[in-house]
């Protein structure tokens, strides 16, 4: 447990637990996080190896049924003590210095933009608090389709004045089904949101740490987040050949996913360079599946990174988030870290990375998870990212 520094006005604390029993793990992690009076929000990041209904019930036993809860399944959890798997990390915040409202929306059947807008509507409840600093925290199903549509829907509701932050749920890299949690409900194909208003600043940093490999290509055929042709050739064939992929990646879906983790696509956008996670391939039609839109006719290129470039991005994201706090110390940091960055760093490297995030926190707690995509919109309409680290600093 990490205790809050100033529990009378605003506090944030983190608890974590492991073990096979979901209810017991949820109860223990939540009890560790509930370190101050007047809790306003509980956020749960957990492995989907648990019975998530039981885990949520355990959290509610510790927090009380009246405390709003959002959460999601992960591809690994992050806490102050380091990264982990098959566990649960719970963050709680509270005190009169915060106002919080939550919502959930169904994104099934292609309703991604509508779900983003419906979830974002909870912001109106905290606007009445009069608190100056606000953020909308979004947790989504990264396998549901083009995640940029969710961001567009949320932006349509909250506008340019409220930043968006969050990440896409994982399922330990099985790429089959993720889960979202809202109060007592276990959801699939959903968007859950928490509108947070605070008397003190909230800062967001976002960096990726990837660099270009080879010559740019034209996306000669795509449909949403499916890429069919690059430079008039089947996209999968170009991807495997130019990157020198191992033979197994051309035959086996699991081997392809492991290779693609460290070989994203870069896109040229008006707002700058964006990164797209290649989540899968269709071996029949030779297409690539990304978790957000890849526009037809646009320029793209392959990307790669190494320990040094990824960790440099970690430092930059933390600095950017803390710089927005107006020299106030953080109550805590939330990290939304793409599973692909974990693939580059390896097990030793992710401990180094989380240690560096904790150093920037300066003794304040750290929580987060390994994602299938990240959300960070601080300006403009674009705000969905892949293979990136997003850090939310709470003062």
Residues 101 and 238 both lie in one domain: no
Contacts of 10 (CB under 8 A, 6+ apart): 4, 93, 94, 95, 96, 97, 98, 198, 199, 200, 331
- Say which range, 36-45, 122-131, 265-274, 345-354, has the weakest mean pLDDT: 265-274
Whether the predicted pLDDT of 4 surpasses 70: no
Asked if residue 378 belongs to a domain, the reply is yes
Q: Please give the residue range of the domain that contains residue 58.
A: 11-207+309-394
196 with 241, same domain? no
Q: What is the pLDDT of residues 139-186, one digit of tens each?
A: 999 899 889 999 999 999 999 999 999 999 999 988 899 999 999 999
Give the count of beta carbons closer than 10 Å to the beta carbon of residue 148.
25
**% of the chain at pLDDT higher than 90:** 83
Q: Which of 257, 275, 304 is the last residue of a domain?
A: 304
Pair of tokens at residue 198: 């605070």
Same domain, 153 and 177: yes
Query: How many whole angstroms separate alpha carbon 194 and alpha carbon 80?
Result: 22
Residues 6+ apart with CB under 8 A from 305: 208, 209, 210, 211, 262, 341, 344
Query: 1 lies in a domain?
Result: no
**Do 299 and 356 reside in the same domain of the chain?**
no
Q: Is residue 178 one of the residues assigned to a domain?
A: yes
pLDDT at residue 1 in the model: 53
Q: What is the pLDDT of residues 60-106, one digit of tens each?
A: 999 998 999 999 999 999 999 999 999 999 999 999 999 999 999 99
Q: What is the pLDDT of residues 192-220, one digit of tens each?
A: 999 999 999 999 999 988 889 899 999 99
Q: Going by DSSP bridges, is the β-strand pair 164-169/374-377 parallel, antiparallel, or unpaired?
A: antiparallel
Pick the last residue of a domain from 304, 331, 354: 304
Helices (H), 244-375: 253-260, 307-323, 339-361
Q: For residues 282-291, give the mean pLDDT.
A: 94
Mark whether 54 and 182 lie in a shared domain. Answer: yes
**Residue 201 maps to a domain:** yes
pLDDT single digits (tens) 294-344: 999 999 999 988 899 999 999 999 999 999 999 999 999 999 999 988 888
Say what the pLDDT of residue 227 is. Answer: 98
218: tokens are: 């034209």
Candidates 103, 43, 102, 104; CA nearest to 77 is 43
Res 3 pLDDT > 80: no
Indicate the number of domains in the chain.
2
**What is the spatial distance between Cα 169 and Cα 259, in angstroms, rounded to a whole number?**
20
Verify that 364 and 284 share a domain, yes or no.
no
* Averaged pLDDT of the chain: 94
Task: Tell me which of 46 and 380 has the higher pLDDT.
Answer: 46
Classified as helix, coil or strand, 210 is coil
Q: Tell me the mean pLDDT in the region 229-245.
A: 97
Query: Minimal CA–CA distance to 313: which of 389, 372, 244?
Result: 389
Q: Name the least confident of 223-227, 314-318, 386-390.
A: 386-390
Residues 175 and 35 in one domain: yes
334 and 196 co-located in one domain: yes
User: In the chain, pLDDT over 70 holds for what percent of residues?
Assistant: 97
How many angstroms separate the CA atoms of 179 and 169, rounded?
Answer: 7
Q: Would residue 90 count as lying in a domain?
A: yes
- Please give the structure tokens belonging to residue 352: 């180094």
The predicted structure's pLDDT at residue 265: 94
**Parallel, antiparallel or unpaired: strands 69-73 and 39-46:** parallel
Pair 68, 183 in one domain: yes
Task: Report the C-alpha gap between 49 and 65 in whole angstroms.
Answer: 24
Residue 365 domain-assigned (yes or no): yes
**How many CB atoms sit inside 10 A of residue 80's CB?**
21
pTM for this predicted structure: 0.88
C-alpha distance across the termini of the chain, in Å: 19
Residues 193 and 46 in one domain: yes
CA 366/CA 355 separation, integer angstroms:
10
Could you tell me if 296 and 319 lie in one domain?
Answer: no
| Residues belonging to the chain | 395
Q: How far apart are CA 73 and CA 370, in angstroms?
A: 10
Say which range, 318-327, 343-352, 364-373, has the weakest mean pLDDT.
343-352
Beta partners for residue 333, in sequence order: 366, 393
CA dihedral 32, 349, 147, 186 (to 10 degrees): -30
């Amino acid at each position: 447990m990490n205790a809050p520094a100033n529990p009378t006005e605003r506090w944030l604390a983190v608890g974590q637990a492991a073990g096979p029993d979901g209810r017991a793990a949820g109860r223990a992690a939540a009890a560790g996080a509930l370190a101050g009076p007047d809790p306003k929000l509980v956020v749960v990041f957990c492995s989907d190896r648990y019975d998530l209904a039981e885990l949520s019930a355990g959290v509610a036993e510790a927090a009380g049924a009246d405390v709003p809860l959002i959460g999601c399944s992960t591809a690994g959890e992050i806490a102050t003590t380091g990264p982990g798997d098959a566990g649960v990390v719970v963050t709680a915040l509270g005190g009169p210095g915060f106002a919080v409202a939550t919502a959930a929306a169904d994104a099934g059947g292609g309703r991604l933009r509508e779900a983003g807008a419906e979830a974002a509507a909870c912001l109106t409840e905290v606007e009445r608090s009069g608190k100056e600093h606000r953020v909308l925290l979004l947790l989504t199903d990264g396998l549901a389709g083009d995640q940029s549509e969710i961001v567009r829907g949320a932006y349509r509701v909250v506008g340019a004045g409220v930043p968006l932050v969050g990440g896409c749920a994982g399922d330990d890299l099985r790429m089959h089904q993720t889960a979202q949690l809202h109060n007592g409900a276990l959801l699939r194909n959903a968007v859950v949101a928490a509108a947070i208003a605070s008397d003190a600043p909230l800062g967001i940093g976002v960096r990726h740490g990837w660099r270009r490999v080879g010559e740019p290509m034209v996306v000669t055929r795509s449909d949403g987040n499916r890429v069919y042709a690059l430079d008039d050739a089947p996209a999968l064939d170009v991807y495997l050949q130019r990157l020198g992929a191992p033979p197994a990646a051309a035959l086996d879906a699991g081997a392809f996913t492991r290779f693609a983790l460290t070989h994203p696509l870069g896109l040229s956008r008006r707002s700058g360079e964006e990164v797209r996670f290649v989540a899968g391939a269709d071996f029949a039609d030779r297409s690539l599946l990304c978790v957000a839109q890849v526009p037809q006719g646009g320029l793209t290129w392959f990307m790669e990174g190494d320990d040094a470039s990824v960790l440099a991005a970690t430092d930059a994201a933390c600095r950017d988030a803390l710089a927005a706090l107006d020299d106030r110390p953080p109550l805590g940091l939330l990290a939304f870290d793409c599973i692909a960055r974990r693939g580059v760093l390896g097990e030793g490297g992710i401990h180094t990375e989380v240690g560096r995030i904790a150093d920037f926190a300066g003794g304040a707690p750290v929580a987060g998870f390994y994602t299938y995509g990240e959300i960070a919109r601080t300006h403009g309409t674009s705000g969905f990212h892949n293979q990136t680290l997003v850090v939310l600093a709470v003062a």
